[in-house]
Amino acid sequence: MDQKYGTYDYIFKVIFLGSASVGKTALLTRFCDDVFTDSYQSTIGIDFRIKTIKLGDKTIKIQIWDTAGQERYQSIATTHYKGTDGVFCVFDICNKDTFEKVKENIKKCTNIVAIPDSCIFLIGNKNDLSRREIEKETGDELANDLKAHYYETSAKTGENVGLIFEELCKNIIKNKNMTDMSNQSCPFKTYFVVFYFCFFLKKGFFLDLYLVYYKCFQKPNG
Ligand SMILES: Nc1nc2c(ncn2[C@@H]2O[C@H](COP(=O)(O)OP(=O)(O)OP(=O)(O)O)[C@@H](O)[C@H]2O)c(=O)[nH]1
Ligand SMILES: [Mg+2]
């Protein structure tokens, strides 16, 4: 279903989660500005950017929230989880500790907002480095376990950075369309049952028929 708001078809809220220094801000900066810096400046609290992309004939505005990995800012981050459509949970493939925090990071978010499994992406970042501690298969296994998707990226080279945003947006759209369809089919079934109930009771049949008809065709999800 089209959601036309001005010059774009969809607007989604996407959030980056993960331990400190895994490359959340670097991925965001690579995606929004196509630049990378080697210096590390930890995010304080939370930050956000907006980027518009084209997916086929649809224009999608993505509101990207970048949380701080440092523990002392976690309470600030959790207040911004509401309304999230999709999640990138990032770990550093060269740092096992950050991989072991993944489940905890996802749980903190999904305790506050319900996010479909298909809209949770596990991201193994820094795959330009050779000193990896987490193999690709291990990342895949955890993603399977979480029923999430797994991608390896490099904010440094830009590998897969555009792809993860496109794939996440596709999944969010797919999920929203499925939800719309199930919301629309249900009221019709309900009114159909009410109609037959009225018919067999033969009480005020024509009035009931009129009410059922009116409610069914007035609006799809009324
Ligand atoms: N080689 C390499 N270095 C990276 C990559 N991504 C990030 N870095 C480096 O890792 C360090 C941390 O990156 P940030 O993006 O600031 O990490 P963060 O996850 O935002 O950290 P917090 O804001 O503290 O939560 C920086 O020095 C980056 O240059 C990558 O893909 N490859
Ligand atoms: Mg950061």
153-173: pLDDT as tens digits: 999 999 999 999 999 999 999
Q: Which fold has domain 3-181?
A: Rossmann fold (3.40.50)
Q: Rounded to the nearest 5 degrees, what angle is found at the Cα of 104, between the Cα atoms of 72 and 120?
A: 110
Asked if pLDDT for residue 49 goes beyond 60, the answer is yes
Domain boundaries, the chain: 3-181, 186-217
Q: By C-alpha distance, which of 85, 83, 50 is closest to 66?
A: 50
The string of pLDDT tens digits covering residues 168-210 is 999 999 998 876 666 555 566 666 676 666 666 666 666 676 7
pLDDT in the model for residue 187: 60
Which residue matches tokens 């949970």?
89
Q: In what order do the strands lie in the sheet with 120-125?
A: 46-55, 58-67, 10-18, 86-92, 120-125, 149-152
Of all protein residues, whose CA lies closest to atom 6 belonging to ligand 1?
Answer: 23
Decide: 124 in ligand 1 pocket, CB within 6 A.
no
| Among 3-7, 54-58, 159-163, 165-169, the least confident range | 3-7
Q: How far apart are CA 81 and CA 69, in angstroms?
A: 14
The mean pLDDT value for 13-21 works out to 97
Q: Which residues of 119-157 are buried (b: 16+ CB within 10 A; e: fewer)?
A: bbbbbbbbbeeeebebeeebbeebbeebebbbbbbbbbe
Which of these, 30, 104, 18, 122, lies nearest to 68 by C-alpha position?
18
Q: What is the largest CA-CA distance in the chain?
A: 78
pLDDT at 217: 63
- CB-ligand 1 contact for 20 (6 Å cutoff): yes
DSSP string over 150-167: EEE--TTT-TTHHHHHHH
Pinpoint the alpha helices (H) of 133-222.
136-146, 161-201, 205-218
Tell me which of 12 and 214 has the higher pLDDT.
12
**Minimum-distance ligand 1 atom for the alpha carbon of 68:** 25
How does pLDDT run across 69-97, given as a tens digit for each residue?
A: 998 888 888 888 999 999 999 999 999 99
Contact 1, 177 (CB under 8 A): yes
Q: Which ligand is nearest to the CA of 20?
A: 1
Per-residue model confidence (pLDDT) at position 221: 47
Site to probe by mutation for ligand 1, drawn from 15, 17, 22, 28 as the one with most ligand atoms within 8 Å of Cβ, is: 22
Residue type, 131: R
Q: Which ligand is nearest to the CA of 47?
A: 2
Residue 211: predicted pLDDT? 73
Separation between Cα atoms, residue 119 and residue 169, nearest integer Å: 8
Establish whether residue 23 lines the binding site of ligand 1, counting it when its CB lies within 6 angstroms of any ligand atom.
Answer: yes
Report angle CA 10, 117, 164 to the nearest 5 degrees. 55
* pLDDT for res 184: 59
